[in-house]
Amino acid sequence: MRTTWSRTIALPLAAALALGVATMAVADTPAPSPDLITGLPAGPTCTGKDANLIGLGDGSATYTLGIDPELVPEDEIASVRYYGLSGIVEVDSPPFTTTWTPAETVGTGESDVHAEVQRTDGTVVSSSTHCYLTSTGDATVSVQGGDTDQIGARQYRVPHKTKILDVRTTALYPRRITVSEDGKQRYDSGELAWTMSPRPVYYWVDNAAATTPGTSHDVVTITDWSGRVITKPIDIVTIQAASIATPTITTSTGATVSANGWVLENSRLRYRTTATIPSLPTWTLPGIDAWQTTADGGNATQIVSGVGAPETAANACLRTEEENDCGTSVPIDGTASARSDDGAGRFTFTTVAGSTWGEATRSTTVRVYPAATLTLKASGSTTVTHGQSLRLATLLREHDGFRNPIGGETLTVQFRAPGWTTWHFVRTVRSSAAGSVAFTVTSTKNGSYRVVHADRPGHAGPATSSAVAVHVRSTVTTKALTAHPRARTTTRISAALSPREQGVTLTLQRWAGSTWKSLQTRRSSTTGTATFAVHLPAGRDRVRVVKSETATYVRSVSATRTVDVAH
């Protein structure tokens, strides 16, 4: 309470009250008491507080307000004006008192009671209690559990979420709110700040306890600033949330992939699980159940099933007040292409199932290792002589847009000759940090080479290079068997194959000035040799033997031999 004294009115009363000031007292005026107005209800005083509330019992009492005679004797009072009641009450005769029934005059509002004393000497004493008075007879409190939906006194909440109570008051300023659950206190607000907020007043009470399926019996206790206690019981029913079964993930071959198991990049995975949405009590409000499964590898999310997937209905069940008991088990079955772009090789399936009341989430992560690609090239010509080394080079890289090299992997070199149905092992090599490796092979027959990387989960997928065809020549050597060839006599010349081949066509040819002219054809014997008997013209003749192509070797030609033939 603030009381001010003055010999003259320095400001009009309304202006003084609005500005929160009053005229100053002269030096010989005694110090004012905080209790200028008498007859206020019992309760905490307002001294030193600009905003406080004192209670009024049950709201039916009538109070007689007056002026403290120790501060202003009655014979010094000319008149008194009281403000903050039902309008302005002016009293101009002793004992300068007025009666007040707050329940009738304040109603659901509040009042800051003021008094202005006009003294007989012309001075004015004004007082503002700053004690806010409120009626209590018609105070009401309602309590709701959960969000904002309620049927009767029961409220549905899914488990594992903090319980929330909505406390609404009318004509009541809560000073403290406590909540007990099944007889055990769970929440205590402590002393609340007094505010001049409009009615009704909303308080969201976090009960700080995770809910579990079942019914909890809660009691909300509100203590107002007059010390009155109001209790409100509420039963909160919690239904089990949707559940999601352990999923099964399989590859296109039917192999099962466990959680954190390895799958090859771009593998087509089939994801199956079941989402179970429970039945709700008949008093719950309508809700829509839905589910969705997504697959995420880092940069892009794939819709596997559920909302957004054209092949699957989005809503498992639409609850209505007439048809509300429709808990449903929904089979979820979808496919996705495994791909990881997050740098850690993770690919995660996430299923979310739930309703208006809440949801359940289940995530399963598999690990992705890169698909690989192999290239194989020959250094130089791929036509070689039997027994000659051929140099090949291969490169192992990831099979994606970045084509990062894959080092430290074992590669198998294989060979297949014409007519063979299988590839045969030649040797193994190991890729360098750059993914490359060069090696040599010894060629003994026509055929093709390739390099194979076996699937190694967690490192690199299977890969096979394209084949490099190799053409092998056998060696043909010639020898003149006639010591002194003469014209018009037979000259004998032999040919030998290395390696030996039987039944191969060998042709003896003579240089005829501008072209090679075939003289005689023979087939090689079991020893790979053949003998030619021909008549050569006198002079210096150049001859050679041509071996025809076979499945094993390509066409080959001997070195040119010079034969001097006498007349």
Q: Indicate whether 117 pLDDT > 80.
A: yes
Q: What is the mean pLDDT of the chain?
A: 77
pLDDT at residue 10 in the model: 28
b/e map 386-412, b = 16+ CB within 10 Å: beeebebebbbbbbeeeeeebeebebb
Assign 39 a pLDDT band (cuts: 50, 70, 90): confident
pTM of the model: 0.58
Residue-level pLDDT at 214 = 73
Between CA 481 and CA 490, with CA 484 as vertex, the angle to 5 degrees is 65
Q: Quick: pLDDT tens for 445-493.
A: 999 999 999 999 999 999 999 999 999 999 999 999 999 999 989 999 9
The answer to whether 142 and 168 have CB atoms below 8 angstroms apart is yes
Q: Which of 545, 529, 530, 539 is nearest to 563 (CA)?
A: 539
172 Cβ neighbours under 8 A, 6+ residues apart: 134, 136, 139, 140, 141, 201, 222, 224, 230
Query: What was the pLDDT predicted at 112?
Result: 61
| Domains of the chain from N-terminus onward | 2-134 (2.60.40), 140-238 (2.60.40.10), 243-368 (2.60.40), 372-473 (2.60.40.730), 475-565 (2.60.40.10)
Res 36 pLDDT > 60 = yes
Please determine, for residue 91, whether its predicted confidence score (pLDDT) is greater than 80: yes
pLDDT grade, residue 57 (50/70/90)? very low
Structure confidence at residue 328 as a pLDDT band (50, 70, 90): low
pLDDT for 244-261, tens place per residue? 899 999 999 999 999 999
Name beta bridge partners: 358.
Answer: 355
Averaged pLDDT for residues 404-411? 95
SS3 13: helix
Give the per-residue pLDDT at 70. 86
Distance between CA atoms of residues 243 and 341, nearest Å: 30
Strand ranges inside 319-409, DSSP E: 328-337, 346-355, 358-369, 372-378, 383-385, 389-398
Mean pLDDT of 281-294: 61
Q: How confident is the model at residue 88 (pLDDT cuts 50, 70, 90)?
A: confident
Is residue 343 scored above 70 in pLDDT? no
Q: How distant, in Å, are the alpha carbons of 170, 268, 270, 349, 427 from that of 254?
A: 66, 11, 9, 18, 33
Of residues 56 and 18, the one with the higher pLDDT is: 56
pLDDT(60) > 70: no
- The pLDDT-based confidence of 7 (bands split at 50, 70, 90) is very low
What average pLDDT does the segment 518-539 reach?
96
Lowest mean pLDDT across 38-47, 231-240, 363-372: 38-47
Give 326 or 152, the one with higher predicted confidence: 326
Question: In the structure, what pLDDT confidence band is assigned to residue 137 with cuts at 50, 70 and 90?
Answer: very low
DSSP string, 189-221: --SPPP--PPSSEEEEEEEEEE--SEEEEEEEE
Give percent of the chain above pLDDT 90: 43
Residue-level pLDDT at 357: 58
Among 71, 77, 76, 60, residue whose Cα is nearest residue 38 = 71
Q: pLDDT tens digit string along 271-285? A: 999 888 766 555 554
pLDDT value for 389? 94
Q: What is the pLDDT of residue 400?
A: 76
pLDDT tens digits, residue range 411-421?
999 999 999 99
| Residue-wise pLDDT tens digits, 187-217 | 888 888 765 544 556 677 766 666 677 778 8
Predicted confidence at residue 387, as pLDDT, reads 92
Q: Mapping DSSP to helix (H, G, I), strand (E, B) and coil, where does residue 46 land?
A: coil
Is residue 11's pLDDT more than 80? no
**Distance separating alpha carbons of residues 222 and 172, to the nearest angstrom:** 9
